[in-house]
Amino acid sequence: MGKRDNRVAYMNPIAMARSRGPIQSSGPTIQDYLNRPRPTWEEVKEQLEKKKKGSKALAEFEEKMNENWKKELEKHREKLLSGSESSSKKRQRKKKEKKKSGRYSSSSSSSSDSSSSSSDSEDEDKKQGKRKKKKKNRSHKSSESSMSETESDSKDSLKKKKKSKDATEKEKDIKGLSKKRKMYPEDKPLSSESLSESDYIEEVRAKKKKSSEEREKVIEKTKKKKKHKKHSKKKKKKATSSSPDSP
């Protein structure tokens, strides 16, 4: 028995399509789309104008609304005009009443004279009050100036007192130095003979400053040492407390 032949013949798809013939097109082609009827430029302009104008119903509605709004405005104007006319009539009535009262007041001219005199007296009182205020302000200013003068005088007196104190202190220093020279002639430096007393005083003051600075340095060093000792003691205590807990 031999093997069965399972081979299939190769079919060219392009050749098969050509043999079938032209395919029936169901929809429009590209040429149909390009050859479609197109409107002219004038027709396009007419369509745009129609769109701008809008629908007739909308235009009619807008006209009706405008008419109603005009009627309401006219009514409102009439009301305002009537109100203004009534106010003008009231003003005219008030003016007439004032004129009538002015006629009747001619008989009572004496009373009006008295009222005018009272108004004059009030004006005079106001003027007097203003004058009094001005006088008070002037007196206040003068008192302030006197106070400032007294303050300046007190400052000058304090300055003079300070100067006198400084002078007395210098004299005391000179006297003390002269006594020391008499008491301890050996401590007197060789250069002091040629130097004046003021130079010698300045040297003594510089020595005092140096000694005070050295004392402050020594005090600071002692404080630092004490702090260091306290810190070392704290470390030792911590180490002793942690050593039994560890095992």
16-69 pLDDT, tens per residue? 999 988 887 788 889 999 999 999 999 999 998 888 876 777 888 889 999 999
CB 174 within 8 A of CB 201: yes
Neighbouring residues of 70: CB distance < 8 A, sequence distance ≥ 6: none
In a domain, 112, yes or no: no
Q: Is the pLDDT of residue 222 over 70?
A: yes
CA torsion through residues 143, 149, 152, 158, sign:
negative
Q: Choose the most confident range, by mean pLDDT, from 112-121, 157-166, 176-185, 206-215.
A: 206-215
Rounded Cα gap, residues 222 and 192, in angstroms: 37
Q: How many domains are contained in the chain?
A: 1
CA torsion through residues 131, 132, 133, 135, sign:
positive
Query: Residue range 230-245: average pLDDT?
Result: 66
In a domain, 68, yes or no: yes
In a domain, 78, yes or no: yes
Instruction: Categorize the per-residue pLDDT at 117 as very low, low, confident or very high, splitting at 50, 70 and 90.
Output: low
CB 112 within 8 A of CB 105: yes
More confident site: 109 or 223 = 223
Range(s) of the domain holding residue 59: 28-93
Q: Is the pLDDT of residue 189 over 70?
A: no
In a domain, 218, yes or no: no
In a domain, 133, yes or no: no
CB 197 within 8 A of CB 177: yes
In a domain, 45, yes or no: yes
Q: Is the pLDDT of residue 208 over 80?
A: yes
In a domain, 159, yes or no: no
In a domain, 203, yes or no: no
Q: Is the pLDDT of residue 114 over 50?
A: yes
Q: Is the pLDDT of residue 165 over 80?
A: no
